[in-house]
Amino acid sequence: MPRCLAIIPAYNEAASVGDVVRAITAAQPDVGIVVVDDGSSDATAAVAAEAGAAVLRLPFNLGIGGAVQTGYKYAWDNGYDVAIQIDADGQHPPVEMAKVLAPVLSGEADMVIGTRFRGVGDFKSSKARRVGIELFARLVSLIIRERVTDTTSGFRAVNRKGIALFESDYPQDYPEVETQALAHRHGLRLLEVPVEMEERQAGVSSIRAWGSVYYVVKVTLALLIGLFRAPRPLPEEGGH
Amino acid sequence: MAETPLGVSIAATIAAILLLLGVLELVRRRRLREKYALLWIVTALVVLVLSVWRGAVTAIAGYLGVSYGPAVIFAVGAVFVLVVLLHYSTVISALTDRSVLLAQRIAILEQRIDALEESRRDRSPDA
């Protein structure tokens, strides 16, 4: 039985992170849970620990990329075979975890992205956001020469190969779009599976309106530079 | 081609010498590492040479078709300052990467210490 870890990045999510941890335990009792507290000023860490998760407390706010990567480093250090990323705000229902995990566990794919746009559930979003998501989906599809529909989903699972990659190299600012291109570049087999998502229970999207221009420019630049960037060396089993 | 006015040469020479002395003083007080002082010292020396050696500026200005000779001194100085700034951007990037890595390692180690202490407490209840 492969050991599986749920990575939950959380920044000031005390209102929802406890329920998310308990829901994961209920849906997948064998899955380890680590909450990465990204320098929260509220009780996120205490609530997560109380709910039974291992908690990694970052000494200051690193942003979503740095926080998630901390989870992958923890997964690598502790010998987990599979890692699955879940948002702390409750928009990824733990009952849907099995769908995202299945292709990784069966060996069908190295990285699986749970997507909102493949026919399941009804996902409502602002016009501008849909246009942005579509734009990046096309750009990434072009780069990896494979049709992807949702590059912004943070509901994703990887096997040990993916853990090794993300442990050593993970985009820092707005990582979701870039990671798919990065994984493809390292020869990981990607797969999208349709999942249902909830409206976020609490908190706000890390992508705010005033920052959306910066977001689009930064991610596009990062994607294009990523095509030519020198790769980082990957860790070896047993080494550091 | 007009010669560089003497006043400009003197002012530029003084500025270059002050920059050089300032950088050396910072290194002496250990407030600037030699590694990062090097580019500043080169910048100061190049400006100093162009300020003192007035014929060179006139020649370069004539060759480039620059009508106001002293502009060459400022242009060369500006290019060196840009190189210094770009160098610092790479230094800041490296420092950022390192501080992120340190923060991540601290978080993981802290959790591991907590877990170890807890398991030790469980084993010896009187400790």
Instruction: Give, for all 127 residues of chain B, the pLDDT tens digit.
Output: 567 888 888 999 999 999 999 999 999 999 999 888 999 999 999 999 999 998 888 888 889 988 888 888 889 999 999 999 999 999 999 999 999 999 999 999 999 999 999 999 888 766 5
Between B2 and A152, the higher pLDDT residue: A152
ipTM given for this complex? 0.85
- Residues 131 through 190 of chain A touching chain B, CB cutoff 8 Å: 172
Mutation target for B interface from A56, A64, A69: give the one with most B CBs within 10 A: A56
Does some domain include residue A236?
no
The Cα of B32 is separated from the nearest Cα of chain A by a number of Å equal to 27
Q: Are A97 and A25 in contact (CB under 8 A)?
A: no
Residue A26's pLDDT is what? 96
What is the average pLDDT value for chain A, to the nearest integer? Answer: 87
CATH of the domain at A21: 3.90.550.10
Domain ranges, residue A89: 4-226
Q: Which residues of B touch A55 (CB under 8 A)?
A: 111
Chain B environment of A57 (Cβ under 8 Å): 107, 110-111
**pLDDT (mean) for A115-121:** 62
C-beta atoms of A56 and B111 within 8 A: yes
Q: How far apart are CA A44 and CA A174, in angstroms?
A: 22
At residue A74, the pLDDT reads 98
Tokens for B62? 């004539």
- Chain B residue closest in CA terms to A65: B100
CA distance B33 to chain A (A): 27
Mean pLDDT of A209-230: 79
pLDDT at A172 over 70: yes
Q: What is the pLDDT of residue A220?
A: 84
Q: Which amino acid is at A107?
A: G
pLDDT at A124: 56
Q: Evaluate if residue A119 carries a pLDDT over 60.
A: no
Q: Which residues of A touch B108 (CB under 8 A)?
A: 56, 70, 73-74, 77
Q: Which residue of B has its CA nearest to A70?
A: B104
Find the CB nearest B110 among A57, A62, A69. A57
Q: Minimum mean pLDDT among A134-138, A191-195, A204-208: which range?
A: A204-208
- Tell me the C-alpha distance between B40 and A9, whole Å: 43
Residue A240 pLDDT class (50, 70, 90 cuts): low
Domain count within chain A = 1
Asked if residue A118 has pLDDT above 60, the reply is no
**DSSP string of chain B?**
-PPPPHHHHHHHHHHHHHHHHHHHHHHHTTSS-HHHHHHHHHHHHHHHHHHH-HHHHHHHHHHHT-SSTTHHHHHHHHHHHHHHHHHHHHHHHHHHHHHHHHHHHHHHHHHHHHHHHHHHHHH-TT-
Q: Shortest Cα distance from B104 to chain A (angstroms)?
A: 5
Q: Would you say residue A235 lies in a domain?
A: no
Contact residues, chain A, for B110 at CB < 8 Å = 56-57
The reported pLDDT for the residue numbered B2 is: 62
Residue A177 lies in a domain: yes
Report how far apart the first and last C-alpha atoms of chain A are (Å, whole number). 25
pLDDT > 70: percent of chain A: 89
Give the model's pLDDT for residue A149.
Answer: 80
- CA separation for the pair B54, B6 (Å, rounded): 9
Residue A57 banded pLDDT, cuts 50, 70, 90: very high
Q: How confident is the model at residue A16 (pLDDT cuts 50, 70, 90)?
A: very high
How many beta-carbon contacts under 8 Å exist across A and B? 37
Return the pLDDT at A202: 54
Report the pLDDT value the prediction gives residue B68, as an integer from 0 to 100: 86
Contact call for residues A17 and A48 (beta carbons, < 8 A) = yes
pTM over 0.90: no
Provide mean pLDDT across the span A127-145: 78
Of A55, A62, A77, the CB nearest to B100: A62
Mean pLDDT, rounded, for A53-72:
96
